[in-house]
Amino acid sequence: MSNQAFPDIKSIPFEGPSSKNPLAFKHYNPSELIEGKSMKDWLRFSVVYWHTFRNSLSDPFGAGTAIRPWDDGTDSVENAKNRVRYAFEFTQKLGAPYYAFHDRDVAPEGKTLAESNKNLDAVVAVLKEEQQRTGIKLLWGTACLFANPRFLHGAATSPNADVYAYAAAQVKKAIEVTHELGGEGYTFWGGREGYSTLWNTDMKRELDHLARFLHMAVDYKKEIGFKGQFYIEPKPKEPTTHQYDSDTAACLNFLREYGLQDHFKMNLETNHATLAGHTMAHEIEVCLGANALGSIDANTGNELIGWDTDQFPTNLYLTTQIMLGVMKMGGLTTGGMNFDAKVRRESFEPIDLFYAHIGGMDAFARGLKIAAAIRKDGRIAEIVKNRYSSWDSGIGAEVEAGKASFASLEKHALSHPDPIQHTSGRQELIENIVNELI
């Protein structure tokens, strides 16, 4: 094993659309300005530790296939520390400015909580060194509250209070190390917060506990002066039958019900949106309406498979719609495009990690350029504007201003011709314009 995992790769250059070099970007040109902001700043790419450096690519039917020469195959702290160097080598050569991790991805769990914390501290010291050496920053940290069997009934929604306390202690530590590493956010994905069957579940009590848990997290964040953004990551099912954070609407309702709405934004993941029976564009719109779009787990599912396949995003309609949403809000602030995605079990060679990320980054760069073209073109915006033009004056404006009543609306309806079949929706025309600009 050399002291580099990829000694033959210096960095992934931008070579433009005509390049045939598989280890070059065709569209992601970090310094290129789009609407006055660099691609790098619009996209804020992030590599995830769990899939890219820890996923063995096993599935329920077979063992892991991933070849990762830099791993010695043990779960030792030494190996974990060593792995950090290779993770940063990869991320730096790729040119991604951020990474994200779960506590248990980066450091092995010990026999006791105290030992796990000690292991984590040892690896965090190396993460810190590597962040300083490379300038790569932490997008968000999180705690793994789903892998260990102690969490089989959930963590913050466990029926067992000792498990709940353990989970709180683990999150406390994970927030501390995220803070220490200058993380820009902290994610709560409800690993097993949900139920397998309602027959054994007191749902209301579990939700109350979850809300308490999050309130304590907010309190602790303030106490230690952690300024990063808290995110909730919606997902409707898997591993549980029903996850409480099932979609953005459910999360927003929960946060409002428990007075937590000022402290959390969403970390939206495409594959979770589609599992919920929504498009990613739908989830983004719901967030935008509530000023709650925080960050994006950039992946995609498979249309024919009903679980979280976490594939790298390559669909330009998807990336275009995501970027239209992000541009509408003027760009992400603390969040980024976080590749919560894994290579297929058949793509087991280390170099496949580069191909996967390059493809995802180029797909988003194209999505960004196409979204900018759609905005500049203006025809779609014009169609939408015209579709609502009856609200700009007259009775529509009166309703919007709160000046109408059922009586005034009835008077209007009786004195005007029947409004049958007004403006066409122009869906096909809009789709043609999108295809023209894609």
Q: Does 340 bind Ni ion (CB under 5 A)?
A: yes
Torsion of CA 269, 275, 279, 283, to 10 degrees: -50
* Minimum separation from the CB atom of position 308 to ligand XLS (A): 5
Give Cβ neighbours of residue 380 (< 8 Å, ≥ 6 apart).
Answer: 374, 430, 433, 434
User: Quick check: 354 and 401 in contact, CB under 8 A?
Assistant: no
Nearer to ligand XLS by C-beta: 247 or 308? 308
Number of neighbouring beta carbons within 10 Å of residue 109: 17
Residue from the set 117, 142, 300, 311 that interacts with ligand XLS by CB under 6 A: 142
Residue from the set 89, 184, 206, 233 that interacts with ligand XLS by CB under 6 A: 233
* Minimum separation from the CB atom of position 338 to ligand XLS (A): 8
Q: Does 189 bind ligand XLS (CB under 6 A)?
A: yes
Q: How many residues contact ligand XLS, by CB under 6 A?
A: 10
Q: Which listed option, ligand XLS, Ni ion, none, makes contact with residue 357 (CB within 5 to 8 Å by class)?
A: none
Q: Which of 211, 172, 167, 162 minimizes the C-alpha distance to 191?
A: 167
Upstream peptide bond of 239 is cis (omega within 30 degrees of 0):
yes
Q: Does 342 bind ligand XLS (CB under 6 A)?
A: no
Number of neighbouring beta carbons within 10 Å of residue 344: 14
Q: Does 14 bind ligand XLS (CB under 6 A)?
A: no
According to DSSP, the β-strands at 45-48 and 337-339 are parallel
Q: Which listed option, Ni ion, ligand XLS, none, makes contact with residue 142 (CB within 5 to 8 Å by class)?
A: ligand XLS
**What DSSP assignment string belongs to 184-198?**
SEEEEE-TT-EES-G
Q: Which listed option, ligand XLS, Ni ion, none, makes contact with residue 176 (CB within 5 to 8 Å by class)?
A: none
Residue from the set 192, 221, 235, 342 that interacts with ligand XLS by CB under 6 A: 235
What is the separation of C-alpha 155 from the centre of its chain, rounded to a whole number of angstroms? 21
User: What is the rounded distance in angstroms from the CA atom of residue 196 to the CA atom of residue 153?
Assistant: 9
Q: Does 308 bind Ni ion (CB under 5 A)?
A: yes
Active site residue 105: yes
Nearer to ligand XLS by C-beta: 189 or 244? 189
Give Cβ neighbours of residue 54 (< 8 Å, ≥ 6 apart).
Answer: 105
Of the listed pieces 23-31, 116-124, 141-149, 336-344, which binds Ni ion according to CB under 5 A?
Answer: 336-344
| CA angle at 55 for the pair 49 and 59, rounded to the nearest 5° | 150
Helix or strand or coil: residue 58?
coil
Interaction residues for Ni ion, span 261-280 (CB under 5 A): 269
Q: Does 49 bind ligand XLS (CB under 6 A)?
A: no
Of the listed pieces 83-91, 125-133, 219-227, 338-346, which binds Ni ion according to CB under 5 A?
Answer: 338-346
Q: What are phi and psi of 189, to 5 degrees?
A: -100, 125
* Minimum separation from the CB atom of position 340 to ligand XLS (A): 5
Which residue(s) pair with 264 in the sheet?
230
CA atoms within 13 A on the CB side of 152: 2
Q: Does 297 bind Ni ion (CB under 5 A)?
A: yes
Active site residue 416: no
Catalytic annotation, pick one of 71, 105, 308, 362? 105
- Annotated catalytic sites, by residue? 102, 105
Q: Which residues bind Ni ion (CB under 5 A)?
A: 269, 297, 308, 340
List residues binding ligand XLS (CB under 6 A): 102, 142, 187, 189, 233, 235, 269, 297, 308, 340
